[in-house]
Amino acid sequence: MVRFTVLASGSRGNSTIVSGGRTRILVDAGLSCRELFRRLRLVSEDPAALDAILITHEHQDHVAGLAVTARKLGIPVYFTEATHRAWMRWLAPRKQMTYAQWLEQCRKQQAERDTVALAPEVETEEIAEDTLETVAASAVTSEAKADPAWLPAVEYFRPGEPFRIGDIDLRPFTVPHDAADPVGFVLEAEGVRIGYATDLGYIPPNVKAQLAGLDLLLLESNHDLEMLRDGPYPWSVKQRVLSRVGHLSNDATAEFLATEYDGQAAYVILAHLSENNNLPELARVAADRALSTRPGLLANRLLIACQGEPMEPITF
Protein backbone atom coordinates (compact mmCIF):
# COMPACT_ATOMS: atom_id res chain seq x y z
CA MET A 1 0.00 0.00 0.00
CA VAL A 2 1.16 3.52 -0.79
CA ARG A 3 0.18 6.18 1.72
CA PHE A 4 0.61 9.93 1.26
CA THR A 5 -0.08 12.34 4.11
CA VAL A 6 0.59 16.07 4.16
CA LEU A 7 1.45 16.94 7.77
CA ALA A 8 1.69 20.69 7.16
CA SER A 9 1.81 23.01 4.18
CA GLY A 10 2.43 26.77 3.99
CA SER A 11 4.98 29.42 4.83
CA ARG A 12 5.04 28.43 8.53
CA GLY A 13 6.17 24.89 7.83
CA ASN A 14 6.03 22.07 5.29
CA SER A 15 6.27 18.34 5.77
CA THR A 16 4.75 15.27 4.14
CA ILE A 17 5.14 11.57 4.84
CA VAL A 18 5.13 9.08 1.97
CA SER A 19 5.19 5.36 2.56
CA GLY A 20 5.47 2.62 -0.03
CA GLY A 21 6.45 -1.01 0.40
CA ARG A 22 8.45 -1.17 3.61
CA THR A 23 9.83 2.37 3.27
CA ARG A 24 8.73 5.59 4.93
CA ILE A 25 10.12 8.97 3.89
CA LEU A 26 9.54 12.41 5.30
CA VAL A 27 9.63 15.04 2.55
CA ASP A 28 10.83 18.28 4.24
CA ALA A 29 10.92 18.87 7.99
CA GLY A 30 9.65 22.41 8.37
CA LEU A 31 8.02 22.01 11.79
CA SER A 32 9.71 21.51 15.15
CA CYS A 33 10.53 17.90 15.86
CA ARG A 34 8.01 17.83 18.68
CA GLU A 35 5.22 19.10 16.40
CA LEU A 36 6.26 16.72 13.60
CA PHE A 37 6.05 13.77 15.97
CA ARG A 38 2.71 14.96 17.32
CA ARG A 39 1.26 15.22 13.81
CA LEU A 40 2.72 11.88 12.73
CA ARG A 41 0.97 10.22 15.65
CA LEU A 42 -2.27 12.04 14.80
CA VAL A 43 -2.27 10.24 11.44
CA SER A 44 -1.23 6.92 13.02
CA GLU A 45 2.36 7.03 11.77
CA ASP A 46 5.13 5.98 14.12
CA PRO A 47 8.03 8.48 14.00
CA ALA A 48 10.48 5.68 14.85
CA ALA A 49 9.51 3.88 11.64
CA LEU A 50 10.80 6.69 9.37
CA ASP A 51 13.69 5.65 7.12
CA ALA A 52 14.92 8.96 5.73
CA ILE A 53 14.29 12.68 5.39
CA LEU A 54 14.30 14.25 1.95
CA ILE A 55 14.84 18.01 1.59
CA THR A 56 13.56 20.14 -1.31
CA HIS A 57 15.50 23.32 -0.41
CA GLU A 58 17.02 25.14 2.54
CA HIS A 59 14.30 27.68 3.35
CA GLN A 60 13.30 27.64 6.99
CA ASP A 61 9.72 26.53 6.35
CA HIS A 62 11.21 23.28 4.94
CA VAL A 63 14.07 22.60 7.38
CA ALA A 64 13.14 24.09 10.77
CA GLY A 65 13.01 20.72 12.54
CA LEU A 66 15.53 18.92 10.36
CA ALA A 67 18.61 18.51 12.58
CA VAL A 68 16.71 17.61 15.75
CA THR A 69 14.44 15.12 13.96
CA ALA A 70 17.27 13.41 12.06
CA ARG A 71 19.38 13.14 15.21
CA LYS A 72 16.56 11.89 17.37
CA LEU A 73 15.72 9.16 14.88
CA GLY A 74 19.28 8.48 13.69
CA ILE A 75 18.19 8.51 10.05
CA PRO A 76 19.90 9.84 6.90
CA VAL A 77 19.05 13.14 5.25
CA TYR A 78 18.95 13.40 1.45
CA PHE A 79 19.91 16.78 -0.04
CA THR A 80 21.59 18.12 -3.10
CA GLU A 81 25.14 19.10 -2.18
CA ALA A 82 24.39 22.80 -2.75
CA THR A 83 21.32 22.64 -0.50
CA HIS A 84 23.30 20.90 2.24
CA ARG A 85 25.93 23.59 2.06
CA ALA A 86 23.36 26.41 2.07
CA TRP A 87 21.64 24.85 5.08
CA MET A 88 24.93 24.58 6.97
CA ARG A 89 25.76 28.15 6.13
CA TRP A 90 22.33 29.21 7.38
CA LEU A 91 23.04 27.47 10.69
CA ALA A 92 26.57 28.85 11.00
CA PRO A 93 26.90 31.49 13.70
CA ARG A 94 28.46 34.11 11.45
CA LYS A 95 26.54 33.07 8.34
CA GLN A 96 29.76 32.98 6.37
CA MET A 97 31.47 29.89 5.16
CA THR A 98 33.93 29.51 2.34
CA TYR A 99 33.85 26.36 0.27
CA ALA A 100 37.05 25.19 1.99
CA GLN A 101 35.56 25.77 5.44
CA TRP A 102 32.47 23.90 4.43
CA LEU A 103 34.50 20.93 3.21
CA GLU A 104 36.47 20.94 6.47
CA GLN A 105 33.26 20.92 8.54
CA CYS A 106 31.90 18.04 6.42
CA ARG A 107 35.16 16.14 6.94
CA LYS A 108 34.94 16.58 10.72
CA GLN A 109 31.34 15.44 10.71
CA GLN A 110 32.26 12.35 8.73
CA ALA A 111 35.08 11.53 11.15
CA GLU A 112 32.59 11.91 13.98
CA ARG A 113 30.16 9.54 12.25
CA ASP A 114 32.90 6.99 11.79
CA THR A 115 33.48 6.90 15.54
CA VAL A 116 29.86 6.52 16.65
CA ALA A 117 27.30 3.88 15.89
CA LEU A 118 25.38 5.23 12.93
CA ALA A 119 21.77 4.62 13.70
CA PRO A 120 20.56 4.06 17.24
CA GLU A 121 18.79 0.77 17.74
CA VAL A 122 15.24 1.96 17.36
CA GLU A 123 12.40 -0.47 17.76
CA THR A 124 9.76 -0.23 15.08
CA GLU A 125 6.95 -0.26 17.62
CA GLU A 126 5.66 2.89 19.23
CA ILE A 127 8.39 4.48 21.34
CA ALA A 128 7.92 7.48 23.57
CA GLU A 129 9.62 10.61 22.32
CA ASP A 130 11.71 10.83 25.50
CA THR A 131 13.01 7.31 25.00
CA LEU A 132 14.08 8.16 21.46
CA GLU A 133 15.91 11.18 22.72
CA THR A 134 17.88 9.10 25.20
CA VAL A 135 18.68 6.41 22.68
CA ALA A 136 19.85 8.82 19.98
CA ALA A 137 21.76 10.99 22.44
CA SER A 138 23.87 8.06 23.51
CA ALA A 139 25.04 7.58 19.93
CA VAL A 140 26.18 11.18 19.47
CA THR A 141 29.39 12.44 21.01
CA SER A 142 29.50 15.79 22.73
CA GLU A 143 31.61 17.30 19.96
CA ALA A 144 29.00 16.36 17.38
CA LYS A 145 26.26 17.77 19.59
CA ALA A 146 28.02 21.13 19.70
CA ASP A 147 27.81 21.39 15.90
CA PRO A 148 24.23 22.39 15.06
CA ALA A 149 24.66 21.07 11.51
CA TRP A 150 25.73 17.60 12.59
CA LEU A 151 23.54 14.89 11.05
CA PRO A 152 23.68 11.14 11.60
CA ALA A 153 24.14 10.55 7.85
CA VAL A 154 24.02 12.67 4.70
CA GLU A 155 23.27 11.41 1.19
CA TYR A 156 23.50 13.54 -1.93
CA PHE A 157 21.31 13.36 -4.98
CA ARG A 158 21.40 15.43 -8.16
CA PRO A 159 18.48 17.02 -9.98
CA GLY A 160 17.65 14.96 -13.06
CA GLU A 161 19.29 11.81 -11.69
CA PRO A 162 16.86 9.19 -10.37
CA PHE A 163 17.72 7.39 -7.14
CA ARG A 164 16.07 5.03 -4.72
CA ILE A 165 15.44 4.92 -1.00
CA GLY A 166 14.34 1.42 0.02
CA ASP A 167 11.16 0.62 -1.90
CA ILE A 168 10.60 4.17 -3.18
CA ASP A 169 12.03 5.46 -6.47
CA LEU A 170 12.71 9.17 -6.64
CA ARG A 171 13.21 11.50 -9.53
CA PRO A 172 14.33 14.99 -8.43
CA PHE A 173 13.89 17.87 -10.85
CA THR A 174 15.01 21.50 -10.71
CA VAL A 175 12.39 24.15 -9.94
CA PRO A 176 12.79 27.93 -10.36
CA HIS A 177 12.94 29.39 -6.82
CA ASP A 178 15.28 31.69 -4.90
CA ALA A 179 17.20 28.97 -3.07
CA ALA A 180 20.59 27.34 -3.68
CA ASP A 181 19.42 24.29 -5.62
CA PRO A 182 15.65 23.83 -5.18
CA VAL A 183 13.94 20.68 -6.40
CA GLY A 184 10.59 18.99 -6.75
CA PHE A 185 10.15 15.22 -6.86
CA VAL A 186 8.33 12.43 -8.58
CA LEU A 187 8.08 9.57 -6.08
CA GLU A 188 7.11 6.12 -7.26
CA ALA A 189 6.31 2.98 -5.29
CA GLU A 190 4.23 -0.09 -6.11
CA GLY A 191 3.45 1.45 -9.52
CA VAL A 192 1.93 4.59 -7.95
CA ARG A 193 3.40 7.89 -9.14
CA ILE A 194 3.29 11.03 -7.01
CA GLY A 195 4.36 14.49 -8.17
CA TYR A 196 5.50 17.01 -5.58
CA ALA A 197 6.14 20.62 -6.61
CA THR A 198 5.93 23.62 -4.30
CA ASP A 199 8.05 26.78 -4.07
CA LEU A 200 8.39 27.61 -7.74
CA GLY A 201 8.03 30.96 -9.43
CA TYR A 202 6.61 29.53 -12.64
CA ILE A 203 6.26 26.14 -14.30
CA PRO A 204 9.02 25.71 -16.87
CA PRO A 205 8.90 22.97 -19.53
CA ASN A 206 11.13 20.59 -17.52
CA VAL A 207 8.67 20.69 -14.62
CA LYS A 208 5.64 20.29 -16.88
CA ALA A 209 7.27 17.23 -18.37
CA GLN A 210 7.70 15.70 -14.91
CA LEU A 211 4.11 16.38 -13.86
CA ALA A 212 2.62 13.91 -16.34
CA GLY A 213 1.30 10.40 -15.87
CA LEU A 214 0.79 10.92 -12.13
CA ASP A 215 -1.67 9.31 -9.73
CA LEU A 216 -1.36 12.19 -7.30
CA LEU A 217 -0.26 15.73 -8.02
CA LEU A 218 0.66 18.09 -5.19
CA LEU A 219 1.15 21.55 -6.65
CA GLU A 220 1.67 24.96 -5.11
CA SER A 221 -1.19 27.47 -5.25
CA ASN A 222 0.42 30.15 -3.13
CA HIS A 223 -1.38 33.43 -3.54
CA ASP A 224 -4.27 35.29 -5.02
CA LEU A 225 -2.80 38.06 -7.16
CA GLU A 226 -5.22 40.73 -5.93
CA MET A 227 -4.82 39.81 -2.27
CA LEU A 228 -1.06 39.92 -2.65
CA ARG A 229 -1.18 43.27 -4.42
CA ASP A 230 -3.46 44.83 -1.79
CA GLY A 231 -2.03 42.90 1.16
CA PRO A 232 0.31 43.82 4.03
CA TYR A 233 3.68 42.76 2.57
CA PRO A 234 6.29 45.42 1.77
CA TRP A 235 6.74 46.11 -1.91
CA SER A 236 10.08 44.27 -2.08
CA VAL A 237 8.56 41.11 -0.63
CA LYS A 238 5.61 41.32 -3.04
CA GLN A 239 8.09 41.56 -5.90
CA ARG A 240 9.95 38.52 -4.63
CA VAL A 241 6.81 36.40 -4.33
CA LEU A 242 5.64 37.44 -7.80
CA SER A 243 9.01 36.92 -9.48
CA ARG A 244 10.03 33.96 -11.59
CA VAL A 245 11.91 32.58 -8.58
CA GLY A 246 9.07 33.19 -6.09
CA HIS A 247 5.80 31.29 -5.72
CA LEU A 248 2.97 30.10 -7.99
CA SER A 249 -0.25 32.12 -7.91
CA ASN A 250 -3.71 30.56 -8.01
CA ASP A 251 -3.96 31.82 -11.59
CA ALA A 252 -0.66 30.27 -12.68
CA THR A 253 -1.64 26.93 -11.18
CA ALA A 254 -5.09 27.12 -12.77
CA GLU A 255 -3.54 27.97 -16.11
CA PHE A 256 -1.41 24.83 -15.97
CA LEU A 257 -4.39 22.67 -14.90
CA ALA A 258 -6.53 24.08 -17.71
CA THR A 259 -3.99 23.69 -20.47
CA GLU A 260 -0.92 21.51 -20.23
CA TYR A 261 -1.71 19.19 -17.35
CA ASP A 262 -2.60 15.73 -18.69
CA GLY A 263 -5.52 15.26 -16.30
CA GLN A 264 -4.53 11.78 -15.19
CA ALA A 265 -4.18 12.15 -11.42
CA ALA A 266 -6.80 10.69 -9.11
CA TYR A 267 -5.98 13.47 -6.64
CA VAL A 268 -4.85 17.04 -7.12
CA ILE A 269 -3.69 18.71 -3.91
CA LEU A 270 -3.24 22.47 -3.80
CA ALA A 271 -0.38 23.28 -1.43
CA HIS A 272 1.74 26.02 0.19
CA LEU A 273 -1.22 28.42 0.37
CA SER A 274 -0.24 31.80 1.82
CA GLU A 275 -2.11 32.65 5.01
CA ASN A 276 -1.85 36.39 4.30
CA ASN A 277 -2.41 36.47 0.56
CA ASN A 278 -4.79 33.63 -0.18
CA LEU A 279 -7.96 31.93 0.96
CA PRO A 280 -8.59 28.21 0.52
CA GLU A 281 -11.84 29.00 -1.28
CA LEU A 282 -10.13 31.25 -3.81
CA ALA A 283 -7.51 28.60 -4.59
CA ARG A 284 -10.17 25.91 -4.84
CA VAL A 285 -12.46 27.92 -7.13
CA ALA A 286 -9.61 28.82 -9.50
CA ALA A 287 -8.45 25.20 -9.77
CA ASP A 288 -12.00 23.83 -9.96
CA ARG A 289 -12.85 26.19 -12.77
CA ALA A 290 -9.68 25.18 -14.62
CA LEU A 291 -10.38 21.47 -14.27
CA SER A 292 -14.02 21.88 -15.29
CA THR A 293 -12.91 23.25 -18.66
CA ARG A 294 -11.39 19.83 -19.33
CA PRO A 295 -14.10 17.52 -20.57
CA GLY A 296 -13.91 13.88 -19.58
CA LEU A 297 -11.90 14.29 -16.39
CA LEU A 298 -13.45 11.74 -14.07
CA ALA A 299 -10.74 11.55 -11.46
CA ASN A 300 -8.94 14.64 -10.20
CA ARG A 301 -10.43 14.92 -6.75
CA LEU A 302 -9.37 18.37 -5.63
CA LEU A 303 -8.03 18.77 -2.08
CA ILE A 304 -6.39 21.60 -0.15
CA ALA A 305 -3.36 21.06 2.09
CA CYS A 306 -3.34 23.32 5.12
CA GLN A 307 -0.98 24.75 7.67
CA GLY A 308 -2.63 24.00 10.95
CA GLU A 309 -3.35 20.28 10.80
CA PRO A 310 -2.47 17.15 8.83
CA MET A 311 -4.60 16.11 5.86
CA GLU A 312 -6.48 12.85 5.80
CA PRO A 313 -4.03 10.21 4.54
CA ILE A 314 -4.48 9.27 0.87
CA THR A 315 -3.95 5.60 0.10
CA PHE A 316 -3.48 3.66 -3.11
Spatial CA neighbour of 149 closest among 138, 157, 140: 140
Select from 55-63, 226-234, 252-260, 306-314 the region that touches Zn ion (CB under 5 A). 55-63
How many residues lie near Zn ion (CB under 5 A)? 3
Rounded CA gap, 72 and 32, in Å?
12
Residue 196 backbone phi and psi in degrees, to 5: -135, 105
Select from 92-100, 196-204, 212-220, 230-238 the region that touches Zn ion (CB under 5 A). 196-204
Closer to Zn ion by Cβ: residue 199 or 215: 199
DSSP per-residue letters across 233-294 = S-HHHHHHHHSTTS--BHHHHHHHHHTT-----SEEEEE---SSS--HHHHHHHHHHHHHTS
Q: Is 61 in the site for Zn ion (CB under 5 A)?
A: yes
Select from 53-61, 108-116, 149-157, 203-211 the region that touches Zn ion (CB under 5 A). 53-61
Give the footprint of Zn ion on residues 241-300 (CB under 5 A).
none
Closer to Zn ion by Cβ: residue 188 or 199: 199
| Closest distance of CB 59 from Zn ion, Å | 4
Rounded CA gap, 258 and 293, in Å?
7
Q: Which of 59, 71, 171, 223 binds Zn ion (CB under 5 A)?
A: 59
Rounded CA gap, 161 and 143, in Å?
34
3-state secondary structure of 147: coil
Closer to Zn ion by Cβ: residue 3 or 59: 59
Q: Which of 28, 181, 199, 215 binds Zn ion (CB under 5 A)?
A: 199
Rounded CA gap, 109 and 107, in Å?
5
Sites of contact with Zn ion (CB under 5 A): 59, 61, 199
